[in-house]
Structure 1
Amino acid sequence: MDAEAVTAAIELNKQSILNAVSVMMDQKLGDLKRANEDLAEKQVQQLKKMKSDSAPKIKRKAYQDQFDFTQQVKEKLVEAKTEAQAGKTERALQALAEGEELISFRQKCILMADKSEAGWLTVEEYKKNELADNSDDEKRMFKAEMRAKKAKKENEEKRRKTGQAKRSFDKSFQPPVRFYGNATSSVTSAKKPGNCFACGEEGHWRGTCPKLSGFRQRGQQFDTMSSKKL
């Protein structure tokens, strides 16, 4: 075998070895990439589970809506961070874009509520249906505004009727006014403004003065005793 043949055989062998190593490296890198993707997916699922398990119970609906929105944005940021750490740039950018869309939609809802007479009720009516395209969005806002105004009017009417019913109920069970004293004085439990012209004290007038009433009673008793002696 001449030198050229030996050299060609060596080069062929080297190329075969390099190809085999390249294939093996590609397989290892592919396995590592899939492992990282699986790990990232598991972390995202764990975060979502932790969120659902540890979500606090908020009493007021307005605060609950605000908390849910900030939680959604937070999840997208955490998802983007996890995907970036796993080397999945495209998925990280996608999560960031979804978070940006959430913020943009929230700002749109705030502006809608600010312009509407019905306030946030219009937003709730608007969000009941799926998002429409731009050509139908204005009509959808108008319909939501109409429904919100109707709901607001019905709620106000309901509260008005409830208030009237409560006042009527309270009035029907109101205890009668009690009168104190004898036939010559009718002292009610109501406190009178100003001072009494007879004794100078506050809370009653001369006509219902308890001290003056006492003087009158003693005068009547004295007159009775005097008439008996006569």
Structure 2
Amino acid sequence: MNHQNVQAFGTFMKIGDRIHRHETYLQWGEGTNSLGACLLLNPGSAKLTKQLDKVLHTTGQATGPIHANDPTMKQLIRIVERIHTDQKPLSGRFHLYNLFQLRHGNNVESIRHFEELSRLGIYDSSESFASVEELKMHPWLLLGWGVENRRSWLYLEQAKQEWMKRVQESGVPFFGKEKQGTTDYYHPSPQKVTDRNVRFEELVELHQTKFRKD
């Protein structure tokens, strides 16, 4: 699929042996207006360019281009371009938020790590919450933090509740594929490649239903 000219940007912080990522967005054209936003679990295995990685490990902080070729980024690009199919060339930013900022490729392991750090008072969740004012800037928010859940994950539950409180206060319309009988939302890019097109179509349809003009 031939995507329009899109780049990913992010800010990374190195804290001890941990890497945090925040202020992440996909950029089309020169516009700074919001094309939408999503709320996922954590930054996964997001990688910086070699040059920025060097800066990060030397200074402890780096901001700039990141690779947008992992399955999640590719899927989000497809979703945004389909939703804004009437805008060509597309111009603006799509913002990526996370329940927590720790970079880690495995969902369950990352949550356990987050829970442990939070319990010890080493990780402060408040750093990853967007303000109500910031959320008001977005035309919509896609929820997709995943459906893994354990009763012992207390800090994760607190993060979800705080996020949803802010989302509801802001009035930003939100959607996502909800797991039946829960308040959790499936990730926009399933691990199985064959499921990705199905999820893509489901999310586009959910968006169209939410914003359908009667």
TM range (shorter): under 0.3
Radius of gyration: which is bigger?
Answer: 1
TM-score by length of 1: 0.19
**Higher share of residues assigned helix:** 1
Higher strand proportion, which one? 2
